[in-house]
Amino acid sequence: MSRARVARRIAAGAAYGGGSIGLLGVATVGVLLAEAHLAKRTVGGGAAPLPPVADGLYGRAFGTEDPLRLALLGDSTAAGQGVRRTGQTPGALLASGLAAVSERPVLLRNVALSGARSDDLERQVSLLLAQPLGPPDVCVIMIGANDVTHRMPATESVRHLAAAVRRLRTAGSEVVVGTCPDLGTIEPVYQPLRWLARRASRQLAAAQTIVVVEQGGRTVSVGDLLGPEFAANPREMFGVDSFHPSAEGYATAAMAVLPTVCAVLGAWPEADRLEPARRENMLPVAKAAAEAVREAGTEVTGARAPWALLKHRRRRRLPVAAEAAGAAGATEGPEGAGGTPEAPADSVPSSETPAGG
């Protein structure tokens, strides 16, 4: 069965109450889970530090009045587990980059929880919507890896995600979802488990894309977030526990998601028209979802039902610390954070750097 058909079945099962469509057999996932836990305990010689708190105001060079409100939800990838400095977390990177592109201050709130699965999104959304300032302008959700390793049925996983996106969209927030990363890149997981992990991750990511687009959100594929760069430079791209991304890894993820975050707020200079030279297309949602998981940074946006736009906005070049500070437009760190966020060097649009995949 094609990935598009599997993803559509999972999404349909979530919509109509099905709960038995899983990603892998129970025995297989049990072995995979044991391998993943072994990787976290024994490879890399250390445990990932708790994520730094990055909440606060970014882009003070643009003032402090009427900031854009950015929120992050999800698991350890959204929280930034594995790095020690505030400016290395994905929230700080996205807030700094958004401030630089929009030329407005950005108020960041991160409610992501390390180890969270999709069923924790209801709690996280409730925390955000209870804020006195009202719903965020844009929410970024990164979730899915723990659903796979903890054997949550795919239909249940995407049902929780769809409900979270629906609540946020109803409240008036734009939503960008970084779909399930490719667990097949975790170094200590060997074949055939590596292949099975990749298959499960991509099936879930495709199903996530379908339900998010149907609820009015956008997705960015991070299936390759732990992909080519991570496979080629595992010691550089993974953190101390060889499981969570390093600072360079989070910067790569931020560069994949930032253009879409800017685009939903009307701050990205590219229009949503198709550019065939970038392998962009309009496809049925399920097929677009299946295509998106093949390349990191692929954005899927709803068009007229049942069609979706498949776009490639990602930039490949990794940030350099000195350039990052300049790209942030003298962006300062949040009050009490004790650090200066480092915006991705590619976060500011440039006519000299193509945004192709």
pLDDT digits (tens, 9 = 90+) for 140-151: 999 998 888 788
Residue tagged 């996530």 (tokens): 208
pLDDT at residue 108 in the model: 97
- Give yes or no for residue 323 having a pLDDT over 90: no
pLDDT at residue 238 in the model: 47
- Give yes or no for residue 73 having a pLDDT over 80: yes
Higher pLDDT, 156 or 6: 156
pLDDT band at 344 (very low <50, low <70, confident <90, very high): very low
* Averaged pLDDT for residues 51-66: 93
Euclidean distance between CA atoms 57 and 334, whole angstroms: 5
Q: What is the mean pLDDT of the chain?
A: 75
Euclidean distance between CA atoms 287 and 42, whole angstroms: 39
Residue 114's closest CA among 157, 71, 77? 77
pLDDT at residue 199 in the model: 83
pLDDT at residue 21 in the model: 45
* Averaged pLDDT for residues 290-306: 84
pLDDT at residue 270 in the model: 67
Which of 104-118, 160-174, 176-190 has the lowest average pLDDT?
Answer: 176-190
**Highest-pLDDT range among 40-44, 267-271, 287-291, 319-323:** 287-291
Distance set, CA 329 to CA 62, 211, 324 (Å): 9, 36, 9
Catalytic residues: 76, 241, 244
Which of 70-79, 106-115, 208-217, 294-303 has the lowest average pLDDT?
Answer: 294-303
Higher pLDDT, 200 or 173: 173
- Altogether, the residues listed in the chain come to a count of 357
The C-alpha angle 321, 325, 327, rounded to 5 degrees, equals: 110
pLDDT at residue 17 in the model: 55
Which of 96-100, 164-168, 257-261, 274-278 has the lowest average pLDDT?
Answer: 274-278
Euclidean distance between CA atoms 51 and 63, whole angstroms: 27
Euclidean distance between CA atoms 246 and 83, whole angstroms: 6
Q: Which residues pair with 70 in a beta bridge?
A: 108, 138
Q: Which residues pair with 45 in a beta bridge?
A: none
Residue tagged 């199903």 (tokens): 207
